[in-house]
Chains A and B, each alone.
Chain A
């Protein structure tokens, strides 16, 4: 292909990539406001968490029956969203879906931001975070929590590598191209690019490494969410005591993650002016992906709710009545209809897969995905096998306190902070992959 482009054309194309993709790294319009907003959120988080540490977990709405609340739902959500890194970079990448190339880094950044904070979310839920080290000193491999810690740290490691490896050529490129970058950034790029000069052999090693990581990350990613689902499925409670939870959680995770990536793509398209990279075509494709995973998730929902609803075993019946027509009915049907059914129907039509429409739909899907985790975690705990008696009224219900709200918001602030930092410090699109696709690798490497 490179032969079809003249030297000048090739050069101008690379120049355009450099201009478009590297520019947002240096023009920070509105960044201060955003960072201040995040800082404010972080302060609220620290304040709320301090009160929780001082007074105990009793400052939350959790009590002896609903002993897991929004913290755990939020943890499940964070792990869920992070799965998208594996779906896009690994599964679609290995399937040679070339349209994902500009999106891979965005997907990896989302994965990293959420999975790194997921660990902290679980610490926020601990009654004795000061004894965290006990998990390493006295850890029992029979406990799903230990499995979860193991696979999540593995996933963080592989995701970091899968973010970093494809970054190397771009760092070398940006180091040469970016004028007036701060000294620390130049040094950072210089060190992290590991002396990359773009020889064919280096490219060979790079491709091999990325492919290996892409294969490795698939079982690990499946494991993190399957194990997370086992935190519930390993118990004997109606609503959790089901064999479908592993794949059900994984399917739901792809929905949440794909929606998050669509939203971030849209923000970057507008804010970073990347219309030529996150094109209508890419949104159309992401819309198709989102509708596909949503349909799979809908299928799992049918199995998860309708099969027990047909039989109405005593304990299940109490749980299902709460969801279908009881205290949680509004939330349950709201999530199913506005977070799943209507988005699926809309996204089946091409016009709703246009960038703005799709981003709007993805917001509904993502909010629905968060609330869905609340529905999975909390109602089950309100209906134990034996009645809840001789305890204060507060033990019979659950609604998060403001402490829980701020601590939860804080986790989002931290995830968004990580995502912002990564997208500000590093190029958001793998430039070398675009160049490679166009056959411009030589031009890409030959600058100066």
Chain B
């Protein structure tokens, strides 16, 4: 956990610095995200606060160019990026998504034993309060004669999302890579999307969010939904920020039991977050009778489940192995 904190701290510093220095006019894309770019010696005036933070001898600074190469540039040729401008660029790429991808998640119910590492990792990454769950491990029982099981439930990132349809301000939207995101700088807090989501995937910031003071100087990233904002919606984002870095989502990597597979439908591959094993998505679903939740609603979820058969762990919750009237 402490490692996670450190990670997010250095990330925070990184973003902060990025907001101060960069290309004069920010170009969208990777260069922007890196936050530094080479300004071809157009003779911008010196930037006072950069000067202050660097010693006299450090007249050169290393930056990442648009091509992803490191370059050394004179400090005089750097100009500060307006915070707003940088923010707009981040938002823009967040709204567009990753081209050519169609993300999917497969959850193997036979392996889940309610360890809740996914929930903890998620809450930590997204600065959520204890009662706010982007992913929630539910205790389910389909019929009184069938066995209970644990079911992790993230947002299903539906291909026909009922939530984005009803949003009056386009604050929640579906990107080209299939991820449904929330722009909490635009959200008006009407909560129509909560009412519209049949899977109860959305949470609301009823109060000041957790860590609000620590997050104060943080740049808002639509792909992480941090900092959370009072009076706005939050929900699972398939860890869009991690996907941009080529990593698996927070919950997927945190699982100790191999429950989660995550990958790209276009490539037809999914990777197990615990074992790192990559398998064919179609085969995995076909061989294990994969299904989606309540397909009759027509939402076309992009999260698949593998049935809770031949379970590795017996169902047990608070000392009991049965469920009484807990479902609904």
Binding site for B on A (CB under 8 A): 55-58, 62-65, 67-68, 125-129, 131-132, 134-135, 137-140, 142-146, 231-232, 234-237, 318, 381, 383-392, 395
Contact = CB atoms under 8 A, between A and B. Distances in A.
B131 A391 contact: yes
A318 B230 CA distance: 33
Interface in B198-214: 198-200, 202-208
Nearest to B230: A56
A236 B196 contact: yes
Nearest to A235: B196
B189 A126 contact: yes
A140 B204 contact: no
A57 B190 contact: no
Given A56-B207, A67-B194, A139-B168, A384 B200 contact: yes
B327 A387 contact: yes
B195 to A, nearest CB: 5
A127 B204 contact: yes
A132 B136 contact: no
A6 to B, nearest CB: 63
Pick the 10 closest A-B CB pairs, nearest first: A127-B189, A127-B231, A58-B206, A145-B168, A58-B207, A143-B168, A236-B198, A138-B169, A67-B194, A128-B189
A138 to B, nearest CB: 4
A234 B198 CA distance: 11
Interface string B78-115: 00000000000000000000000000000000000000
Contact of B195 (A63, A143, A237): A237
Contact of B232 (A64, A68, A128, A387): A128
9 contacts: A56-B208, A57-B204, A64-B200, A127-B189, A134-B169, A140-B170, A143-B165, A384-B200, A390-B131
Given A58-B207, A127-B232, A389-B138, A67 B195 contact: yes
Contacts of B167: 140, 143
B326 interface: yes
Contacts of A237: 195, 198
B153 interface: yes
B141 to A, nearest CB: 9
Given A128-B189, A144-B166, A389 B326 contact: yes
Contacts of A231: 192, 195
A386 B199 contact: yes
Contacts of A58: 206-207
A63 B294 CA distance: 24
Given A126-B189, A143-B167, 5 more contacts: A64-B131, A129-B188, A145-B168, A237-B195, A389-B138
A135 B194 contact: no
Contacts of A381: 195
Nearest to B132: A64
Given A135-B169, A391-B131, A386 B200 contact: yes
Nearest to B153: A386
Contacts of A388: 200
Interface in B133-179: 133, 136-140, 153, 162, 165-171
Contacts of B166: 142-145, 234-235
B251 to A, nearest CB: 14
Nearest to A149: B168
A56 B168 contact: no
Nearest to B195: A235
Nearest to A389: B138
A423 B253 CA distance: 67
A383 B297 CA distance: 16
B196 A234 contact: yes
B148 to A, nearest CB: 11
Contact of A143 (B191, B192, B328): B192
Contacts of B208: 55-56
B247 interface: no
Contacts of B138: 386-387, 389-390
Contact of B136 (A138, A144, A383, A390): A390
